[in-house]
Structures are given as C-alpha cells and as structure tokens.
Structure 1
Amino acid sequence: MILTKILFIILIIVCLCFYVLYVWDFALILLIVIAALPIIMFITTLITKKLITVEFAVKDKNVAKNKDFPVQLVVTNRSIFPIGKAEAHIEYYNVFSDQVSAFDLYLPIQSRNSQRVTFQLSSKFCGIIKIRSAYLNIYDPLRLFRFKTAKNICTEVAVMPECHEIGGIVHYTDRVNEESDIFSEYKPGDDPSEVFDLREYNQGDKLNRIHWKLSSKKDDFIVKDYSLPIDVPCSLFLDLKCYEDSELTLPVFDTLIETAISLSQFLLENERGHSVIFFNSSQNRFVEHTITAPSDLTVLISEIITSLRDDLFCQSPEVYFSENNSLSYASFSMISSATSHKMLDHIDENIEADFKNAILVVNSAQSLAEKLSGYQSLSVIPVAVGKISASIKDIDI
C-alpha cells in the first residue's frame, strides 16, 4: 500500500512536469484528473465505510464438542460504491481460557448487496466460544487508502459437555418426606394417595390393598402397590471456582463440568432424585436445581454453560457453607479442582450425610490420593484431567 502511494505521487510529479514542458490542454486535464483521483477515492471509500454493517450469523447456538460448526460473516454495503478488497480479522476464544486464536478473511463487497463468508470452527472443550470481528479493513480501488470499521462485533456459541460412563453403587436410602409430591418411579411405598402398580396377590399382602372392583373382573385378586414419596436427599455440589491458572485451565474446567453432568446422568439412570448446586456468576448467587428427569438435566447443562463469565468469577464454596449451616443429605458429593484441607475438613466434620464424596479434578491423581487420605466419613476420589470414566469406577453415592 505504501508502494502504491509512492508510485502515485511519482505519477503526479510526472504529469506536472509534462504540463510544464508542454503547454497543451490535454496536459492540464491529465494533471487535474490524476491529482483529483486520490481525493475522489478517499471520499467515496469514506462514504462506503459509513454505510457498511457487519454481523455474524450462527445457525445453531448450541454445538457438540470436537465437531465443526459453521459461522457466517455477513457484510452489508448500502452504498453505490463497490469495494474490490476487504479484509476481516476474526478472533475467537473459550471463556475458560485466555488464549485467543485469530485468522483473516478476504472478500470483495458488492454495492447495495450483502456478502456472506462461511468459515468452520470447532472446540475440543465445552464452554462458551466467543467470536468477534476485531476490525474490517476496506480499500479503495487504487489501494491508496484503508479504512477500519466493524470493530468488536461479537457472537457466542455454547459448546455442550459430553456425558461419560460412571461406575459405582447408588444407594436408595432415601430420607422420605411424607409431604413430598415427588414419587419414585421404580420403588413402591406406603403412600395411598398415589398408586405405583397393580399386580397379582401374593401370600402376606395386606387385605386393604386388594383392588376389589378389578379383582371381580379378573376372577383373581389384584393388589395395589402404593407409591414412595421421596424428597431430594442426594446432592451434587459443583465448585466452578478457578484454582488452576495455566495451560490446564481449559481442560480442568471441561473435566469439572463433564464430571458433574456424568454423575447427574448416572443418578438419573438409577432413578435417584438429586439436586445440583453451583454458583451462577451471571446472577451472582448460588443456585440449586432439582433433577428428576432428563429434561431437568438438559436445562441444568444449558444454565451452567451460559452462566460463566469471561473473568471466571465464582464465589468460594465456603461462602455457601457459611450461609447454610445445617446441611443434611442421604448423599453429598463435591466436585472441585481445589485440594484445600480446610474445605474437605468442613465436609467431613460438618455436613451430615450417609455417603460423602470429594471428587477432585487434578493433573496427577496418584499423588493426590496419597496426600488426601485418612478422612473418617469422606471419600476422596481424584479424577485425572480428561479421564472421567477411568477415575470414577467405585463411587458410593
């Protein structure tokens, strides 16, 4: 571009010399045209800059890990002047990481038209992918001037976590809440307000449970099994506070979220009602979701991912524990990347639960297991980054 300007200045000087040496009307006209041309280029390109808009178009805002998804850069030119060359600088990054990737797109822009350029992105880790146009450079036809526009035009895409197979034992020691309106789908109980199942009479069944009307039609005794009211006695606490500020930050966060989602899915598959507690940074408070169906888990995943901020701000679990002094569960599991003895001591000594687990995402699982053993009622389960299924094989929950 500098070379083009130098050549054009030389051309103007040559035309000026031509006008001085030859007193012709043509020489004057040529000098005026050559001298006016940069001014015309500047004005028309400036007008075009004012009439250009840029936006991103994303068909699906929720995408899967490790799969390409298309993003379109849409450039609309409302002026009558075309742009032969435009250069867009695109940047993208995961909110879990401060590593920004970038690339350039080159395109012409027709007058009174919209140009769409499609590019593909993918992510190895879950989270929010932020995509922005750092700037759009447009050039006049002679490449004399460059104008910068469309700074910091942004869009976001949520990369969904994957569920992993979990091994372990699910204990059905529900602390029954007689006032609960949530009933077990797999276990009968003693609540006559809801019928769990109808079956044939077995010796020892209570006579008051015989369905007399249906028995008369079947010529056999049919017995009613009542339903089991359940509360939400099993809880997962997802600690999203960043304890790892390095190149491992992104894989650690990815493993944290997928561990929590996989445990929740594991409990659902075993018909275990539970709650998931985490800090929603967009709402600046701890939230608790009751999970009793796959649809609840879908909502939970979406809220966890979309609640994250660029600065990864998250209140410490100690804040939640201090505000909720008397916590009682049938099962309590903390998923965190912290190895704080203070936090683990608090869970071991102050949280009442039949089964307590501290599931800690670390780089070296073996060294952590030796360091954090010896708790009375707390089971410490180290999870190596990216190795969820291999790490959680014998959990009691």
Structure 2
Amino acid sequence: MILTKILFIILIIVCICFYVLYVWDFALILLIVIAALPVIMFITTYITKRLITVEFAVKDKNVSKNKDFPVQLVVTNRSIFPIGKAEAHIEYYNVFSDQTSAFDLYLPVQPRNSQRITFQLSSKFCGVIKIRSARLNIYDPLRLFRFRTAKNICTDIAVMPEGHEIGGIVHYTDRVNEESDVFSEYKPGDDPSEVFDLREYNQGDKLNRIHWKLSSKKDDFIVKDYSLPIDVPCSVFLDMKCYQNSELTLPVFDTLIETMISLSQFLLENERGHSVIFFNSSLNRFVEHTVLDSSDLNTVINEIISSVRDDLFCQSPDVYFMENPTLSYASFTIITSSKDQKVLEHIDENIEADFKNALLIVNSADDLSDKLAGYQALSIIPVAVGKISASIKDIDI
C-alpha cells in the first residue's frame, strides 16, 4: 500500500509538470482528476466503513470433539460503494487454555449486499471455543487508504465432552430420609405416598397393602409395595480449579470433565441416582444438581461448560467443606487434579460415607506412588490424562 501511495504521488507530480509545460485545457483537467481521486477514495471508503456490519453465523452452538464444524463470517455492506478487498483477522481459543490461534480471510464485498465466507474449525478437547474478529480492514479500489472496523465481534461454540466405558461395583446402600420427595428405583420401602410395585400376595404381607380393586379383577390378591424415600446420598464432587498452567492444562480439564461424565453415566446405567457438585464461576458459588436420568446429566454438562470463565477462576474444595462441615453420603467421590494431601485427609477423616473415592487426574500413575496409601477409608484412583477407561476399572461406589 505504501508503494501505491508513492506511485500516485509521483503521478500527481508528473501531472503538475505536464500542466506547467503545456497550457492545454486537457492538462488542467487531468491534474484536477488525478488530484481529486485520493479525496474521493477517502470519502467513499470512509462512508463504506460506517455502513459495514460484521457478524458470525453458526448453525450449531454445540459440536462434537475431533469433528470439523463450519463458521461463517458475514460482512454486510449497506453503502452504494463496492469494496474490492477486505481483510478479516480471526482469532480463536479454548477457554480452558491461554493459547490463541489466528488466521486471515480475504474477500470482496459488493455494494448493498452481504458477503459470506465459511471456514472450518475443530477441537481435540471439550470446552468453549471463543471466536472473534480482531479487526476487519477495508481498502479503497486504488489501495491508497485502509480503514479498520468490526473490532472484537465474538461468538462462542461449546465443544461437548464424551463419556467413556468404566468398570466397577455400584452399591445400593441408600440412607433413608423420610422427608425426601426422591424415591428409590430399586428398593421398596414404607412410604405410602408413592407405589413402588404391584405383586402377588405372599404369606405374611399386611392386609392393608392389598389392592382390593385390582385383586377383584385378577381373581387373586395383589399387594402394593410402597416406595423408599432417599436423599440422593451418592455424590460426585468435580474440582474444576486449575492447579497448573502449562501445555497440559487443556488435556487435564478435558479429562476432568469426561471422567465426571463417565462416572455419572456408569451410575445411571446401574439405576443409581446421584448428585453432582461443582463451582459455577458465573454464579460465584458451588452448586449441587441431582442427576436421575440422561436429561439431568445433559443439563449439568451444559452448565459446567458454559460456567467456566476465561481466567479459569474456581474456588478450592476447602471452601465448600468449610461451608458444609457435616456431610453424610452413602458414597462420595471427588474428581480433581490437585495433589493436596490436606483435602484428601479431610475427606478421609471428616466426610461420613460408606464408600469414598478420589479420582486424581495425573500425567501417569507413577505421579501418585507416594499418595496411594495411608488413608483409612479413602480409595485413591489415578486417572491418566486421556486414558479414562483404562484407569477406572474397579471403582466401588
């Protein structure tokens, strides 16, 4: 562009010399036209800049890992002047990482028209991909002037995590809470407000549990089994606090979230209702959600992904434990990348649960050789980054 300006200045000087040497009207007209062109280019391009809008168009805000997804940059020119060259500088990054990638797009923009240019992105890891137009440079037809517009136009795309097959034993040792409105799906109880099952009469069954209306139709005694109220005693605690800032930050976060999903899916497959606890940074507090089916789990996943801030702020589990000093569960599992023994000792000594597990995300199992023993009730299971199925084979929960 500098070379173009120099050549145009030389052209104006030549026209001035031509006008001085020759008194023809043509020389004067040529000089006026050449001198006026930069002014016209500046004014028309500036007007176009004011009448240009830029936005991203994304068909699906939730995409899968390791699959290309299309993103459209839409440049709308509402002026009557065409743009022969527009240059968009696009940046994108995962909120779980501070590594930003960038590329440039080049396109013409017709007057009173919208120009769409499609590019493909993909991600190996889950999280939120933030895409922004750092700037859009537009040039006049002679490439004399450049105007910058459309700064920091953004859009977000959630890359959804995946579940993995894990192995273990699910124990059904619900602790009864008579005031609960959540009922066991696998054990009968004594709460008459909810019917657990209907079955044939067995000797010793109470007469007040006979379903007389149905029995008269079946010509046999049909007995009602009442439901057992529970208080979602199986809990999964997801520690989203970032304990290292390196090239492994993104893989560690990916493994953290997918370990939680895999464990939750494993519990649901075994008809085990549970709760998931995590820090919602957008609300600036810990939240707890009950997960009784896949719909509940999808809601939790979406909230986890969307709640993460760019600075990765997250309260330590210590804060939750101080706010809730008396915790009682049938089973309690923490998923974390922290090697802080104080947290593990607190869970081992102060949280009341029949089964207690700590799934620690590590680069390799050797990283925890000195932390696998010394706990009375807490079972330590190292989960190697990216190797969830191979790491979790015999969890008791």
Structure 2 counterpart of 1:140, one-letter code: D
Q: Residue 21 of structure 1 corresponds to which residue in structure 2?
A: 21
Instruction: Give runs of aligned pairs for residues 363-382 of structure 1, distance below 5 A.
Output: 363-382=363-382
Q: Residue 359 of structure 2 corresponds to which residue in structure 1?
A: 359
Q: Secondary structure at the match of 1:326?
A: coil
For the residues of structure 2 that align with 1:208 and 1:389, how far apart are their CA atoms? 49
For the residues of structure 2 that align with 1:212 and 1:25, how far apart are their CA atoms? 115
Q: Secondary structure at the match of 1:371?
A: coil
For the residues of structure 1 that align with 2:107 and 2:378, how far apart are their CA atoms? 60
Q: Secondary structure at the match of 1:125?
A: coil
For the residues of structure 2 that align with 1:250 and 1:191, how far apart are their CA atoms? 47
1:24-73 CA distances to partner (integer Å, 9 max, x unpaired)?
11011111111111111111111111111111111211111112212111
Q: Residue 5 of structure 1 corresponds to which residue in structure 2?
A: 5
Q: Residue 134 of structure 1 corresponds to which residue in structure 2?
A: 134
Instruction: Give runs of aligned pairs for residues 1-397 of structure 1, distance below 5 A.
Output: 1-397=1-397
Instruction: Pick which of 189-198 and 42-51 moved more.
Output: 189-198
Structure 2 counterpart of 1:58, one-letter code: V
Structure 2 counterpart of 1:53, one-letter code: T
Contact kept, 8 Å, 1:200 with 1:221, in 2: the verdict is yes
**Normalization by structure 2: what TM-score?**
0.97
Shift of 1:303: 0.5
Segments ≥4 residues shifted beyond 6 Å: none
Q: Secondary structure at the match of 2:98?
A: coil
Contact kept, 8 Å, 1:369 with 1:382, in 2: the verdict is no
Structure 2 counterpart of 1:181, one-letter code: D
For the residues of structure 1 that align with 2:281 and 2:371, how far apart are their CA atoms? 31
Shift of 1:167: 0.8
Shift of 1:280: 0.6
For the residues of structure 2 that align with 1:53 and 1:367, how far apart are their CA atoms? 52
Shift of 1:212: 3.0
Shift of 1:208: 3.7
Shift of 1:322: 1.0
Shift of 1:283: 0.7
1:128-171 CA distances to partner (integer Å, 9 max, x unpaired)?
11000000000000111111111111111111111111211111
For the residues of structure 1 that align with 2:50 and 2:218, how far apart are their CA atoms? 82
For the residues of structure 2 that align with 1:153 and 1:224, how far apart are their CA atoms? 62
Q: Secondary structure at the match of 2:105?
A: strand
Q: Secondary structure at the match of 1:131?
A: strand
1:298-336 CA distances to partner (integer Å, 9 max, x unpaired)?
111111001000000011111111111111111111110
1:220-251 CA distances to partner (integer Å, 9 max, x unpaired)?
23222221211111111111100021000000
Structure 2 counterpart of 1:31, one-letter code: L
Contact kept, 8 Å, 1:174 with 1:233, in 2: the verdict is yes
1:184-204 CA distances to partner (integer Å, 9 max, x unpaired)?
223222222221111223445
Instruction: Pick which of 160-169 and 81-90 moved more.
Output: 160-169
Contact kept, 8 Å, 1:241 with 1:314, in 2: the verdict is yes
For the residues of structure 1 that align with 2:148 and 2:215, how far apart are their CA atoms? 83
Contact kept, 8 Å, 1:170 with 1:270, in 2: the verdict is yes
For the residues of structure 1 that align with 2:143 and 2:211, how far apart are their CA atoms? 90
Instruction: Pick which of 333-342 and 269-278 moved more.
Output: 269-278
For the residues of structure 2 that align with 1:289 and 1:231, how far apart are their CA atoms? 12
Shift of 1:91: 0.4
Instruction: Pick which of 161-170 and 185-194 moved more.
Output: 185-194
State the number of aligned residues: 397
Structure 2 counterpart of 1:336, one-letter code: T
Structure 2 counterpart of 1:109, one-letter code: V
Q: Secondary structure at the match of 2:349?
A: helix
**Normalization by structure 1: what TM-score?**
0.97
Unaligned runs of 5+ in 2: none
Shift of 1:370: 4.2
Q: Secondary structure at the match of 1:143?
A: coil
Q: Secondary structure at the match of 2:108?
A: strand
1:361-381 CA distances to partner (integer Å, 9 max, x unpaired)?
010123314433221110001
Instruction: Pick which of 140-149 and 196-205 moved more.
Output: 196-205
1:274-315 CA distances to partner (integer Å, 9 max, x unpaired)?
111111111111111111122111111111001000000011
Structure 1 counterpart of 2:288, one-letter code: E
For the residues of structure 2 that align with 1:203 and 1:390, how far apart are their CA atoms? 49
Cα root mean square deviation, aligned? 1.3
Shift of 1:205: 3.8
Instruction: Pick which of 292-301 and 333-342 moved more.
Output: 292-301
Q: Secondary structure at the match of 1:334?
A: strand
Contact kept, 8 Å, 1:231 with 1:273, in 2: the verdict is no
Structure 2 counterpart of 1:292, one-letter code: L
